Amino acid sequence: MSTQDILIFATKQVNIYFGLSIMILGVIGGIFNIIIFTTLKTFRETTCAFYLTAVSVVNIIQLVIALFVRILSEGFSTDIKRTSWVCKIQVYMAVWCLLVSMTYVCLATIDQFLSMSHYRRFSNLRFAQRCIFNTGIFWGLYCICFLIYYDAPLGICMIINSNFAMYVTRFHFPILYGVLPLTTMITFSLLAFYNARTLISRQINIVRLSRDRQLTTMTLVHVVFVTITTLPSIIYFIYSLNQTTDDPVQIARNNLIYTILVLILYSSFAGSFYIYSCVSQRFRQQLIFVISNVCIKQCQQWMNKRGNNQIVPNTEIIGDIQLTRIKTSRDSIDVVFMK
């Protein structure tokens, strides 16, 4: 087997095993994010968590559509993008999800900064809903040009307009997807982190203080993770613009490097849940509560069907406080204790 064949084989294996792992773990993590952010009242009332929920939804769409099609075409040599409409839809959804996901993360960092500043009035759910809706519509209209200028005339999904190709390589990918959102995320996440460190000196409710510090830590680490996983592909993309070669071995080697970097880029859409779990003990406790709460409710329903009156605990973690409600058939006793 020649060096070129080895590199091509390695590229396929990376797409299959690394790509499938990212997709499966990312979808599972995204579902857990959505469940946690929409189940717990402490998150439902915060706009930053609302943005992070929207990010998780978009990331799942990105993994299921864009990454799955890439695995089929690059890993299993089932290039369904040879069909014109498949090529257009796959590119459209991939670009839309990329831009929307990055924008929502930017909005989450901006909102977290505003929520701990004198401009807190701008951090509200109604405004966040409008931002999410308008952002999705705006990028949806912007991505129409990708529907027009992407096609598969020779069985290869590619840009068919030279001017648009120059725009994509010179502005869209390095600036619109790279420098602009990364700069925004880093700036506002650092400002939010600075504000979070000064909250302790203010007279703020302990529940709100714990929640804001948790969300600030989660968004800051999320931004760091996105930056680390995004920059290598952008740098390599800019570097490859000035590199031309006809050597098949070098082309195969470049394809392998590009595949690895693209899959690392996709990991930014798959790793948020695991990042939150690693950096936030409170998030892990909330995850355990959500899972156990579902089990308890199922047990309670099963016991109610049998007609038994049992004592069923229902615990919700709010900041550093655990609220335990012990319900009996005759009365309800609320016990509040410090963890």
Is the pTM value of this prediction over 0.75?
Answer: yes
Q: Which helix H or strand E contains 99, and what residues bound it?
A: helix 84-115
pLDDT at 298: 67
* pLDDT by 10s per residue, the chain, length 339: 788 888 889 999 999 999 999 999 999 999 999 999 988 887 888 898 899 999 999 999 999 988 998 888 888 877 677 788 888 888 899 999 999 999 999 999 998 888 877 777 777 888 899 999 999 999 999 999 999 999 888 778 888 888 998 898 889 888 888 889 999 999 998 888 887 777 655 555 555 667 777 888 888 899 999 999 998 888 888 777 766 777 888 888 888 998 999 999 999 999 999 999 998 888 888 888 888 876 677 677 777 776 655 444 444 443 333 433 333 333 332 222 223
Buried (b) or exposed (e) across 216-247, using 16+ Cβ within 10 A? bbbbbbbbebbbebbeebbebbeeeeeeeeee
Q: What is the spatial distance between Cα 267 and Cα 221, in angstroms, rounded to a whole number?
A: 14
Residue 29 has what pLDDT? 94
For domain 3-279, say whether CATH 1.20.1070.10 is its number: yes
| Distance, CA of 123 to CA of 202 (rounded, Å) | 19
For residue 125, give the 3-state DSSP assignment: helix
Neighbouring residues of 235: CB distance < 8 A, sequence distance ≥ 6: none
Q: Between the CA of residue 84 and those of 65, 98, 166, 249, 321, what are the distances in Å?
A: 16, 21, 22, 30, 56
Q: Which residues in 295-314 are b (16+ Cβ under 10 Å) and which e?
A: eeeeeeeeeeeeeeeeeeee
Query: What's the Rg (C-alpha) of the chain?
Result: 24
Q: Residue 206: what pLDDT?
A: 56
pLDDT at 267: 93
Which backbone phi and psi does 165 adopt, to 5 degrees?
A: -60, -40
pLDDT value for 114:
86
Count CA atoms within 13 Å of residue 122 on its CB side: 12
- DSSP structure string for 225-266: HHHHHHHHHHHHHHHHTT-----HHHHHHHHHHHHHHHHHHH
Which DSSP state fits 311? -
> Boundaries of CATH 1.20.1070.10 in the chain?
3-279
Pick from 69, 89, 67, 79: nearest CA to 19 = 67
